[in-house]
Amino acid sequence: MTSPLVSIRGLEKRFDLSGSLLEQITFEGGRFRRKQEAVHAINGVDLEVQKGEALCVVGESGCGKSTVARTVMGLLSPSAGEIHYDGQRIDNLERKDSLPYRRKMQMIFQNPYASLNPRMTIQQTLEEPIRFHHPDWSQVQVRDKIHEVMHSVGIDPDWGSRFGHEFSGGQRQRIAIARALAVDPEFIVADEPISALDVSIQAQVLNLLMDAQESRGLTYLFITHDLAVVEHFGTRVAVMYLGRVCELADTKTLFSAPRHPYTQALLSAIPKLEDDRPNHIRLKGEVPTPVNLPSGCVFHGRCPYANERCRQEIPQLITTDGGTQVACHAVEEGRL
């Protein structure tokens, strides 16, 4: 197997909630105590993205999928763990040394109403990253590049002098994609790129992303909560729950034979056109808060197969016969 383009190793990310030292101090039972609290957004994630694939990360709100995306892009710094790009560790680079990687890695955000600067024309929006990464390019080179990317996303290059608000949601997302493509990246992190769009527009943007992948040989890390999109778009899928990967498999394998009880519940909850009634696997309770993580398997409180071991010991990802990697004691012990 070739070396992965991006590898995430032992990634952890905590967000401190307790504020300054003074805010942490409380008076309890006649003594001063210092109380520290943190949101444990990611708790030990290992993922490898192979060149040319679309690795999808799915999960429900609060599972840490967006935090993974942002940490990979360097928008957040990891609390522990490493990010490697093409064999080089990139999470601890100096600003100057990280520049070439920032050109190779681009991001597309969820909300195209917030990700485009309202005071910049489309021309300016697209010009900025090109000029930043290619300060030596001539005016003509920059202009040609802008025309090329606008063409490739299906936006008329004559519209360059318009502002973001003059476009519809779908068109704005195309422009956001054009901005990412403008610096010829190799790797694109897309954080819920179609969730804010209407159904008919979702198909347009998804097609555009697939076309770009084919013509430019892109590699995607695709973050989404929409499993139907994953089944269509993803090469491999990682399912996350409370900051951990609970299952990782080829898309086809995952959808035909989900192993982890959470994945099974998640898949059964997708409303399908052929259904006459909701028929989903019922889970107990709700997702616990990532402030006080459950001991052992993070899913044990809602899992119908949980036993004493699940409450104590954190399950590690193991590879099953089908090639699926799954973190579940029940699967490991053959109970499931």
d(CA 222, CA 57): 6
- Which C-beta is closer to another protein: that of 104 or that of 236? 236
Q: Does 165 bind another protein (CB under 8 A)?
A: no
Among the candidate windows 108-116, 141-149, 175-183, 261-269, which touches another protein by CB under 8 A? 261-269
Residue from 136, 273, 321, 334 binding another protein (CB under 8 A): 273
Q: Does 242 bind another protein (CB under 8 A)?
A: no
Q: Does 232 bind another protein (CB under 8 A)?
A: yes
d(CA 242, CA 42): 7
d(CA 72, CA 48): 11
Among the candidate windows 112-120, 135-143, 200-208, 321-329, which touches another protein by CB under 8 A? 200-208
Q: Does 23 bind another protein (CB under 8 A)?
A: no
d(CA 42, CA 70): 12
Q: Does 278 bind another protein (CB under 8 A)?
A: yes
d(CA 56, CA 223): 6
Residue from 7, 125, 173, 202 binding another protein (CB under 8 A): 202
Q: Where are the beta strands (DSSP E) in the chain?
A: 6-16, 25-28, 31-34, 38-49, 54-58, 80-85, 88-89, 105-108, 187-191, 219-224, 236-241, 244-250, 318-319, 325-326
- Which C-beta is closer to another protein: that of 198 or that of 333? 198
3 state SS of 204: helix
Q: Locate tokens 């982890």: which residue?
A: 260
- Which C-beta is closer to another protein: that of 79 or that of 253? 253
Please give the residue ranges that form the binding site for another protein (CB under 8 A). 60-61, 168, 170-171, 198-204, 206-207, 210-211, 225-229, 231-233, 251-252, 265-266, 268-278, 280, 282-283, 285-287
